[in-house]
Structure 1
Amino acid sequence: MNNAFLQDTNLSLQAKGLLAEILSNKDDWRIYISELEKRSTNGRDAHKAAYKELQEAGYIRVVRFSRGYKKGVENYVFAQDIPIKDSHLDYFKQILDRELSKGKGNSTY
């Protein structure tokens, strides 16, 4: 994990800690805020605020994947140690579409 995000003066210490916790997991670990809440003494609201801060700063991006009519929507969360640019998100979205869709749904932002 690159530690440049720790020097980002636009992030709170809480957001930096949450991102470090997320990035310390295996690459294939799915990000669930409820799971992250169990790993510290911070409350639900504190986690949600830090998570939202990371989203607004671009360190966390979410792709919604439609499973098709009346089959629901699934969220896929991507996190990086640098802000995720739209071009990178497009690349992630293409991979997700290829791996999951098989003609059965589409990803959206």
Structure 2
Amino acid sequence: MPVFRVPKRNNYTVMSNVHLLDPNLSLKAKGLLSYMLSNPDDWDYSIRGLASQNRDGPDSVRTGLKELEAHHYLKREKVRDAQGHIIDYDYQIFEQPFS
């Protein structure tokens, strides 16, 4: 079966194949991580931000993020205000699992 590729002159992403070849990740998690790696570092990686740019809703994005956390491709830390309420999450995204 032929694969039709396009020249990589602009609008493409270079990333490691580690997560794509990881048999422990679902296709949803692989696609979500690939999408996250294709965006700039200052992009809105919140559940709402990810869901707004894709067909999957917030619940689907949340389960994908939890899977990436479980397999050490993502770290999320809660950001709290002075009263201790969660106001945001700080995301650390890894091309290969951290140890």
Q: Same fold (TM over 0.5)?
A: yes
Q: 1:4-15 to 2 correspondence within 5 Å?
A: 4-15=18-29
65 and 48 in structure 1: CA distance in 2 versus 1, 3 angstrom threshold: closer
Give the helix-richer structure, 1 or 2.
1
1:45 aligns with 2:59: yes
Give 1:60's match in structure 2, choosing from 65, 74, 77. Answer: 74
Q: 1:1-109 to 2 correspondence within 5 Å?
A: 1-66=15-80, 69-70=82-83, 72-73=85-86, 74-85=88-99
**Whole-Å separation in 2 of the counterparts to 1:46 and 1:57:** 17
**Whole-Å separation in 2 of the counterparts to 1:16 and 1:26:** 18
Give the SS at the match of 2:31.
Answer: helix
Alpha-carbon offset, residue 30 of structure 1: 4.0
**Whole-Å separation in 1 of the counterparts to 2:59 and 2:89:** 20
**Whole-Å separation in 2 of the counterparts to 1:70 and 1:41:** 35
TM-score with structure 1 setting the length: 0.66
**Whole-Å separation in 1 of the counterparts to 2:27 and 2:17:** 13
Percent of aligned pairs sharing the same letter = 33
- Stretches of structure 2 that go unaligned for 5 or more consecutive residues are 1-14
TM-score with structure 2 setting the length: 0.71
**Aligned-residue CA RMSD (Å):** 1.9
